[in-house]
Amino acid sequence: MPVCPTGASYKRKEDGLVLVDFDRCIGCKYCAWACPYGARELDEERKEMTKCTLCADRIHDDNLSERDRKPACVLACPTSARLFGDIHDPDSVVSKAIRERGGYQLMPEWGTRPANHYLPRQKTTACGSGSCSCGSDAEGAADVAPAAPLEHGVVDLASMATRV
């Protein structure tokens, strides 16, 4: 991230995850001020910036079963309101959910292409507006109701693609 004076905050090329190198972080908070999502926090005790990593250590751990290679929040959610998968695979669960329910990214005008997508509580038209990366277009998307009614707000979709 260009605002980090030490280069501690960076975007990984292989999967697009934004991470913090704690050995280089000086806790200056520049990344928190620059982050449009409010995703950064200062660990007061360690004087380091922290953020969600989508459990990068878990999702790439070949010692775990495929089922367990998901962020802890996805595995622990009692209502299955969080999904995880490859956004660039049009047949993945997350790509289908985005297409069918009208999923979207927050603040696409920033051009950050975040890994998280969101689903509205009520079914909407397909994303196709260019604000997401699921590859759908508004005309080709199915008009399908959500599999189960959502009780609160939006569903958070954590998605990641392995880039070759």
How far apart, in Å, are the Cα atoms of 2 and each of 5, 15, 34, 79?
A: 8, 19, 9, 38
Domain identity same for 83 and 158: yes
100 within some domain: yes
Domain identity same for 30 and 80: no
The yes-or-no verdict on residue 144 having pLDDT over 80 is no
The yes-or-no verdict on residue 139 having pLDDT over 80 is no
Domain identity same for 67 and 27: no
Q: What is the mean pLDDT of the chain?
A: 79
pLDDT digits (tens, 9 = 90+) for 24-40: 999 999 999 999 999 99
Domain identity same for 123 and 151: yes
The yes-or-no verdict on residue 50 having pLDDT over 80 is yes
Mean pLDDT of 123-151: 46
The pair of structure tokens assigned to 65 is 């079963």
Domain identity same for 126 and 71: yes
State residue 142's pLDDT score. 38
The closest alpha carbon to 42, from 53, 31, 57, belongs to 31
110 within some domain: yes
Q: What is the 3-state secondary structure (H, E, C) of the chain?
A: CCCCCCCCEEECCCCCCEEECCCCCCCCCHHHHHCCCCCCEEECCCCEEECCCCCHHHHCCCCCCHHHCCCHHHHHCCCCCCEEECCCCCCCHHHHHHHHHCCECCCHHHCCCCCEEEECCCCCCCCCCCCCCCCCCCCCCCCCCCCCCCCCCCEEEEECCCCC
108 within some domain: yes
State residue 125's pLDDT score. 56
More confident residue, 85 or 1: 85
The yes-or-no verdict on residue 145 having pLDDT over 50 is no
Mean pLDDT of 108-122: 84
Show the CA angle centred on residue 37, arms to residues 143 and 85, nearest 5°.
Answer: 45
157 within some domain: yes
pLDDT band at 3 (very low <50, low <70, confident <90, very high): very high
Give the pairing of strands 9-11 and 155-159.
unpaired
Report, in angstroms and rounded to the nearest whole number, the Rg of the chain calculated over CA atoms.
17
Domain identity same for 78 and 121: yes
The pair of structure tokens assigned to 112 is 């950050």
Range of the structural domain that residue 132 is part of:
62-164
Number of folded domains that form the chain: 2
Residue recorded with tokens 């008009």: 143
pLDDT band at 153 (very low <50, low <70, confident <90, very high): very low
Domain identity same for 94 and 14: no
36 within some domain: yes
Domain identity same for 69 and 116: yes
pLDDT digits (tens, 9 = 90+) for 68-96: 999 999 999 998 889 999 888 999 999 99
The pair of structure tokens assigned to 86 is 């490859």
13 within some domain: yes
CATH number of the domain bearing residue 15: 3.30.70.20
1 within some domain: no
Domain identity same for 20 and 69: no
pTM: 0.67
57 within some domain: no
